[in-house]
Amino acid sequence: MNDEQRLRYSRHLLLNEFGEDAQERLLASHALVIGAGGLGSAALLYLASSGVGRITICDGDRVDLTNLQRQVVHRLESVGKPKAASAAGTLAGLNPDIRVEPLEERAGPERIATLVRGADVVLDCSDNFATRHAINRACVAARRPLVSGAGIRFDGQIAVFDLRREGAPCYHCLFAEDASSMEERCATMGVFAPLVGIIGTFQALEAIKLLAGIGETLAGRLVLFDALSSRWHEVKLARDVHCRVCGDARAAA
């Protein structure tokens, strides 16, 4: 680290549990963030400010006025522009010390698999089940840790699937693909602005711990947050041995 970096990250360096080695690991790491909406906005700001050395932002949407209520990485002048480029512009103004790669595309399963292989940690900040399952499959195949977040109305959730570990549960163990779960979208259901900030920030916190190699992560746990009553619940996750993505049956699937 140079003198400017020592100054910029000095409040991390003061932490006994963090220190110079963890900051160096963070600066040498690569995070893939899929989705630059409400969750991605909060996550990206903290990943960048904390000094994650390389950040790839993948989003095929453009900024809309209705996004600005909660997607805090975007500015009014970005309305109509691609979200990935808008987010990258904000991050460049915050921390030019890191490398930010905006991908203005709605990535399909094959593209996601390629992107995941090149990353050290993956943050799922997407808003649809097809993408969530594609990200999970890619993380299982490439054994990359997955930090999964979601938020709709007043309900938020976050889980970490540390797929580097043998026997770790995956997203599919928890949410089956063929489940008739209705896809809930912000456009029709509404979403409480600070909720996605809390969950997105929590995703950044977990990703940074995974990359820096500090503390205990949420791996194997699902945390639910009810913003209306300000209550947190925690559920222990178990691997589904019959899971078609990570389970013993996958070879037959």
For the chain, the farthest-separated pair of C-alpha atoms sits apart, in whole angstroms, at 55
Count the residues of the shown chain that bind Zn ion, applying the rule CB under 5 A.
6
Question: Which residue stretch of 78-86, 94-102, 152-160, 173-181 sits at the interface with Zn ion (rule: CB under 5 A)?
Answer: 173-181
Which one of residues 8, 70, 74, 172 is an interface residue with Zn ion (CB under 5 A)?
A: 172
Question: Which residue stretch of 97-105, 144-152, 172-180, 203-211 sits at the interface with Zn ion (rule: CB under 5 A)?
Answer: 172-180
Q: How far is CA 106 from the centre of its chain?
A: 16
> Per rule CB under 5 A, is residue 198 in the interface with Zn ion?
no
- Of the two residues 123 and 246, which places its CB atom closer to Zn ion in the complex? 246
The residue at minimum Cβ distance from Zn ion is 243
- Of the two residues 54 and 137, which places its CB atom closer to Zn ion in the complex? 137
Question: Which residue, among 8, 11, 52, 60, has the nearest Cα to 31 in the 3D structure?
Answer: 52
Provide the minimum distance between the beta carbon of 164 and Zn ion in the complex, in angstroms, as a whole number: 15
Q: Strand pairing partners for 82?
A: 62
Which one of residues 115, 173, 212, 222 is an interface residue with Zn ion (CB under 5 A)?
A: 173
Residue 195 and residue 151: Cα distance in Å, rounded? 7
Judge contact between 189 and 152, C-beta under 8 A. Answer: yes
- Of the two residues 133 and 172, which places its CB atom closer to Zn ion in the complex? 172
Residue 49 and residue 41: Cα distance in Å, rounded? 12
> Per rule CB under 5 A, is residue 174 in the interface with Zn ion?
no
What does the per-residue mask of binding to Zn ion show for 91-130, with x meaning CB under 5 A?
Answer: ----------------------------------------
169 exposed, middle or buried (CB, 10 Å; 0-12, 13-18, 19+)? buried
Provide the minimum distance between the beta carbon of 115 and Zn ion in the complex, in angstroms, as a whole number: 20
Question: What are the φ/ψ torsions at residue 198 (nearest 5 degrees)?
Answer: -65, -50
> Per rule CB under 5 A, is residue 170 in the interface with Zn ion?
yes
Residue 200 and residue 36: Cα distance in Å, rounded? 10
> Per rule CB under 5 A, is residue 243 in the interface with Zn ion?
yes
Judge contact between 224 and 157, C-beta under 8 A. Answer: yes
| Binding stretches for Zn ion (CB under 5 A) | 170, 172-173, 243, 245-246
